[in-house]
A = this chain, B = another copy of it.
Amino acid sequence: MTSLHSVVNLRDARKVAIFGGTHGNEMSGVTLVNMWINNGAEIQRSGLMIKPLITNPRAVEKCTRYVDTDLNRAFTPDNLSAPRNEDMPYEVRRAQEINQMFGPKGSPDAYDIIFDLHNTTSNMGSTLILESSKDDFNLQMVNFIKQAIAPTSCSVLLNEHPLLQYSTSRSIGKHPIGLEVGPQPQGVLRSNIFESMRAIVKHALDFIELFNGGMEFQPCMVDVYRVSEKMDYPRDKNGNITAMVHPNLQDGDWKPLNPGDPMFQTFDGSTINYEGGSTVYPTFINEAAYYEKQQAFVMTKRETLTANGIKAYKI
């Protein structure tokens, strides 16, 4: 190995959180977390404190994405430091509470690892979402999970974009990691999606236990899809959409979209092609929650990251 990719010593992990219901109508995480709150045997690991939490209980109660504003965009420095008052959007108050319990964001007291469980209506399969290309611990965990569930595939989405990254619930932890599993309609619990998510959490916790137990993980390479740009639906001057995702693109998450490929189909049957300069890999294609965010899909580029090896030390 070169010195660039050696084995680094990291503190062992002590505090792990599993968030469900950050979006109250994404039923796999809501159901798993409620189940584990009732009976945590399945997620117990020796020497680890693992805390499952329903992050947006009011949205879960109403089976809606959020009540006032998207909780998974609410963990901004401004929100977290704002003086508390009762006129705040519910989710901003809730973000402050969660930050007190599991953060504070950026502090040494913050939880070591926070998993946040999501579903998508898009045909993305099992996806792990990272917020940093430099987090050896998370890259090693992702590598471990991918190997553990092979030959079932698990994609890795890297959202490290200066404008498109957002302030997630999990971002208050030292190692934030999102799980996004689909396709599943909002408000529906499908057994296949439920079991896929459950298996990934199991492998992730196994990894942490092995790491804490002293196992050395060798430097590794991880294929990721890096967020590069978002694409909105064609719209009229009133903001109403005038075209749908083209049938060739629908359900084609992670597949190459080449210049000239069909992208949208207008209501009168004409085709709008992708006119970008290079191949991209779309994902979150036709996600229900993203119409209001002016996003028909997000474009990504493929990239291979290299992670240092890691080994735990205890203090």
Output the least CB separation between A66 and chain B (Å).
12
Cβ B188 vs Cβ A35 within 8 A? no
CB-based closest 6 A-B pairs: A185-B185, A187-B288, A121-B185, A191-B244, A188-B288, A191-B247
Residues of B close to A192: CB separation below 8 A: 247, 250
Residues of B close to A186: CB separation below 8 A: 185-187, 288
Residues of B close to A289: CB separation below 8 A: 187
A241 at the interface (CB under 8 A from B): yes
Cβ A286 vs Cβ B244 within 8 A? no
Interface centre among A241, A267, A288, A291 (most CB of B within 10 A): A267
Residues of B close to A121: CB separation below 8 A: 185, 187-188
Residues of B close to A34: CB separation below 8 A: 240
Residues of B close to A287: CB separation below 8 A: 188
Residues of B close to A274: CB separation below 8 A: none
Cβ A265 vs Cβ B187 within 8 A? no
Cβ A250 vs Cβ B191 within 8 A? yes
A189 at the interface (CB under 8 A from B): yes
Residues of B close to A288: CB separation below 8 A: 185-188
Cβ B286 vs Cβ A190 within 8 A? yes
Cβ B250 vs Cβ A35 within 8 A? no
Output the least CB separation between A123 and chain B (Å).
11
Residues of B close to A189: CB separation below 8 A: 241, 244, 286
